[in-house]
């Protein structure tokens, strides 16, 4: 059975001048395998290296990387794992290589073309024991989810097919290319998983039709010394339950 080690919980939102792009990065472990799910945005690079180091790992220990979709805030650090096998949905790969989507990180695509790649097509295809592929389009035409049988139950690592707790509980999805398709993908996930790790929120448990966050989702923003924002140099953002 695989275990999921969440290196970073994503956090929702955008600023007046940028996407926050704070996305979830998870590490799947089995006895023999280490698979990273998404690689975060470029701003997460040093933090990702630190998180691996804190676990006694280097980038070379990660044998595979699954990319939920090819937006910049999920793939920017793919370059750290040149030796890994990259798992990507075929539909997403074809979309990113042909569509004019400014959120796809164009500069990373040539790199991914040079890496070892497995393109996934069918629901249920396993990338390691107990870890399978599920197509969940809407956010992008090829957005995909990984279903992981782990000690906490069947967990869907959904990328931006389900970005946060509100999308999971209401089915109303922001930033989607097709709202109806997104809604169907959410229903598809709910039918097979009892827990969701979204692209921009902490782990969420599905219980009796309710969406229950597993703990707080907090981000602390630190400002340079001498800078004060509302009298504080550190501001904590916490999602209300
Ligand atoms: Zn996205």
Q: What is the CATH number of the domain that holds 171?
A: 3.60.15.10
Centroid of ligand 1 to alpha carbon of 69 (angstroms): 7
Centroid of ligand 1 to alpha carbon of 211 (angstroms): 22
188: confidence class by pLDDT, cuts 50, 70, 90:
very high
Q: How far apart are CA 148 and CA 141, in angstroms?
A: 22
Residue 96 lies in a domain: yes
Residue ranges with strand state E in 44-174? 64-67, 85-89, 117-120, 126-128, 131-135, 144-150, 153-159
Residue 230 lies in a domain: no
Residue 241 lies in a domain: no
Residue 102: the pLDDT is 86
pLDDT in tens, 127-162: 999 999 999 999 999 999 999 999 999 999 999 999
Residue 177: the pLDDT is 87
Taking residues 18-25, report their average pLDDT.
93
Q: How far apart are CA 115 and CA 157, in angstroms?
A: 23
**Domain tally, the chain:** 1
H-helix or E-strand containing 26?
A: strand 25-29
Tell whether the model's pLDDT for residue 200 goes beyond 90: yes
Residue 113: the pLDDT is 96
96: confidence class by pLDDT, cuts 50, 70, 90:
very high
Residue 225 lies in a domain: no
Residue 176 lies in a domain: yes
Centroid of ligand 1 to alpha carbon of 230 (angstroms): 32
Centroid of ligand 1 to alpha carbon of 139 (angstroms): 7
Residue 228 lies in a domain: no
Q: How far apart are CA 176 and CA 164, in angstroms?
A: 13
Centroid of ligand 1 to alpha carbon of 135 (angstroms): 15
H-helix or E-strand containing 236?
A: strand 234-238
Centroid of ligand 1 to alpha carbon of 223 (angstroms): 27
Residue 112 lies in a domain: yes
Residue ranges with strand state E in 91-189? 117-120, 126-128, 131-135, 144-150, 153-159
Residue 182 lies in a domain: yes
Q: What residues form DSSP beta bridges with 67?
A: 88
Residue 162: the pLDDT is 97
22: confidence class by pLDDT, cuts 50, 70, 90:
very high
Centroid of ligand 1 to alpha carbon of 234 (angstroms): 28
Centroid of ligand 1 to alpha carbon of 71 (angstroms): 5
Tell whether the model's pLDDT for residue 103 goes beyond 90: no
Exposed, middle or buried by CB within 10 Å (0-12, 13-18, 19+), for 10? buried
Taking residues 50-58, report their average pLDDT.
98
Q: Judge whether 33 and 11 are in contact, CB under 8 Å.
A: no
Judge if pTM exceeds 0.85: yes
Residue 105: the pLDDT is 81
Considering the chain, what is the average pLDDT of its residues? 95
Centroid of ligand 1 to alpha carbon of 129 (angstroms): 27
Residue 107: the pLDDT is 87
Tokens of 136: 């969940």
Tell whether the model's pLDDT for residue 44 goes beyond 80: yes
Q: Judge whether 29 and 3 are in contact, CB under 8 Å.
A: yes
Centroid of ligand 1 to alpha carbon of 6 (angstroms): 18
Host domain of residue 154: 3-215
Centroid of ligand 1 to alpha carbon of 228 (angstroms): 32
Tell whether the model's pLDDT for residue 167 goes beyond 90: yes
Q: What is the DSSP string of 170-218?
A: H---SS-S-HHHHHHHHHHHHHH-SEEEETTS--EEEETTEEEESS--E
Tell whether the model's pLDDT for residue 165 goes beyond 80: yes
Tokens of 207: 């219980």
Total count of residues recorded for the chain = 241
């Amino acid at each position: 059975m695989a275990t999921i080690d969440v290196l970073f919980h994503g956090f929702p939102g955008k600023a007046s001048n940028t996407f926050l792009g704070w996305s979830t990065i998870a590490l799947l472990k089995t006895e023999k395998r280490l698979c990273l799910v998404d690689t975060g945005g470029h701003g997460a690079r040093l933090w990702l290296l630190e998180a691996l180091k804190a676990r006694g790992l280097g980038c070379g220990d990660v044998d595979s990387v699954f990319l939920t979709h090819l937006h910049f805030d999920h793939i920017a650090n793919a370059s750290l794992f040149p030796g890994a096998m990259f798992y990507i949905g075929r539909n997403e790969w074809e979309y990113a290589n042909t569509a004019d989507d400014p959120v796809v990180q164009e500069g990373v695509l040539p790199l991914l073309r040079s890496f070892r790649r497995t393109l996934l097509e069918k629901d249920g295809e396993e990338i390691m024991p107990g870890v399978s592929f599920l197509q969940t389009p809407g956010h992008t035409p090829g957005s995909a989810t990984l279903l992981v049988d782990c000690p906490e139950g069947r967990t869907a690592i959904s990328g931006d097919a389900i970005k946060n707790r509100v999308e999971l509980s209401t089915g109303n999805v922001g930033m989607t290319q097709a709202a109806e398709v997104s809604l169907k993908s959410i229903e598809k996930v709910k039918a097979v998983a009892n827990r969701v790790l979204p692209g921009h929120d902490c782990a969420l448990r599905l219980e009796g039709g309710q969406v229950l966050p597993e703990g707080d989702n907090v981000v602390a923003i630190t400002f340079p010394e001498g800078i004060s924002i509302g009298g504080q140099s550190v501001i904590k953002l916490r999602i209300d339950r």
